[in-house]
Amino acid sequence: MLAITSRDVLIVVDMQYDFLPGGSLAVAGGDEIVPLINTLAKRFTNVIFTQDWHPADHISFASQHPGKNPFDLIELTYGPQVLWPDHCVWNTRGAELSADLDIPHGQLIIRKGYNRQIDSYSGFQEADRETQTGLAGYLNERDVDKLYVVGLATDFCVGWTAIDAAAGGFDVAVIEDATRAIDNAGSLANAWAEMQTAGVSRLQSKDILAS
């Protein structure tokens, strides 16, 4: 069993209304993991949130590309881009973190995707793979040990955050049953394969809560 220390960090990814049932880009069962995330968070001294935060005319929205539909793939200057329904537009309810999260000791919210011209799945860097969010610098200054990632969605923002954390030299694990996936065209299996290759550990909540 794993013993969580005061230097470990829980990263709660994109638990926002647009990704929950009833939202514009709802992840099936996304609301089911909120109580588990709350329970896990009680084991951690350090908790960080990421928050998708888009302008209304963001380049990743299918509505900005005439003739295109959500989940179509286009090429942008930084590479392939999945087009999404409008979601997590700043200052809308859909962009808000769920009020059912009970984590008052959370220390930091990293907003991502606010640059109109670049999408951003990862909590560490945007999709151009150059623009940094500052999260790595924050964590390095805090001199933390292991990172544990939960939230939405496993095959996009959770996976990219975990992979970038590993690339940045952090010891990182995804708590699988505290995530949910979109799983579009095999994206979930691909994400787990990429995480494994990157050195990301795959855990269950019982590995922590039973300790």
Task: Indicate which residue of 18, 119, 157, 164 is catalytic.
Answer: 157
Look at residues 204, 192, 180, 156 and name the one whose alpha carbon lies nearest to residue 33: 180
pLDDT (mean) for 167-191 = 95
pLDDT reading at 143 higher than 80: yes
Supply the pLDDT for residue 85: 96
Contact 154, 184 (CB under 8 A): no
Burial 170-181 (b: 16+ CB within 10 A, else e): bebbbbbebbbb
Residue, of 184 and 153, whose pLDDT is higher: 153
Between the CA of residue 52 and those of 25, 103, 105, 119, what are the distances in Å? 12, 18, 20, 10
pLDDT at 46: 98
**78-99: average pLDDT:** 96
Structure tokens at 51: 């928050």
Choosing from 8, 14, 18, 52, the catalytic residue is 14
More confident residue, 24 or 3: 24
Is residue 211 pLDDT above 70, yes or no?
no
Is 42 annotated as catalytic? no
Q: What is the pLDDT of residues 11-30, one digit of tens each?
A: 999 999 999 999 999 999 99
Q: Would you say residue 91 has pLDDT above 90?
A: yes
By CB atoms closer than 10 A (0-12, 13-18, 19+), residue 210 is: exposed
Helix (H) or strand (E) holding 20: none
- In angstroms, the CA 134 to CA 108 distance is 11
Query: Half-sphere exposure of 158 toward its Cβ, with a 13 Å CA cutoff?
Result: 33
| Structure-block tokens of residue 69 | 């539909």
Q: What angle do CA 94, 32, 11 make, to 5 degrees?
A: 70
Residue type, 86: D
Q: Does 14 qualify as catalytic in the annotation?
A: yes
Whether 112 sits among the annotated catalytic residues: the reply is yes
Question: What does the pLDDT read at residue 170?
Answer: 97
Give me the pLDDT at residue 39, please.
98
Given 86, 112, 119, 155, which residue is catalytic? 112
pLDDT of 6 above 90: yes
Question: What torsion do the CA atoms of 161, 166, 169, 171 make, to the nearest 10 degrees?
Answer: 100
Quick one: the chain helix, strand, coil %, rounded to 5? 30, 25, 45
For residue 184, name the pLDDT band (cuts at 50, 70, 90).
Answer: confident
Beta-strand pair 73-76/79-82: antiparallel
Please provide the average confidence, as pLDDT, over all residues in the chain: 96
pLDDT of residue 185: 84
Q: In this structure, are residues 81 and 119 in contact, taking their beta carbons and an 8 Å threshold?
A: yes
Structure tokens at 105: 């000791």
Q: What DSSP designation does 129 have? A: S
